[in-house]
Amino acid sequence: MVLLSDLLSSVRVKVPLEATTKDALLGELVDVLVADRCVSDREPVLDVVRERERVLSTGVGHGVALPHGKTDACDRLLIAAGVTREPVDFDALDGAPVQLIFLLVGPESAAGAHVKALSRISKLVRQPEVRLRLMESKDRETFIETLREAEAG
């Protein structure tokens, strides 16, 4: 079983995220993938994530958003994550602003892994203590360590 902490290296975690709007947050997380040389062309990736948000917000509640999209601009499933300085309006299903964001993008051929990763993240962040510890992470190393500990159970 592949762990989320294996898919999400510390260089793809940004604490804190600087953006203060939903659209800017999406761009900032895509830029994290570009900076790590996981994605060479920012716009197709950002376009699919924005389009998915137009269909239905990925703000899943309790201050968490899971924006995602499928594009052949990625050769494998990629995850970036971050924590905002202040809560940001994300049109979340519960109406609450978000602070904890996991971005998932990958090719159509990785659809199964994509769904499994979304499910695993959802399961972890439904645990209030894990969600709070991730939101309170002061740096990327603490974020990754919290994720590892939560996955270890």
- Strand bridging mode 68-70 / 59-61: unpaired
Q: So which residues are the catalytic ones?
A: 68
Position 138: which residue type?
Answer: K
Residue burial 67-79, b: 16+ Cβ < 10 Å; e: rest: bbbbbebbeebbb
**One-character DSSP codes across 105-129:** EE-GGGHHHHHHHHHHHHHHHTSHH
- Amino acid at site 2: V
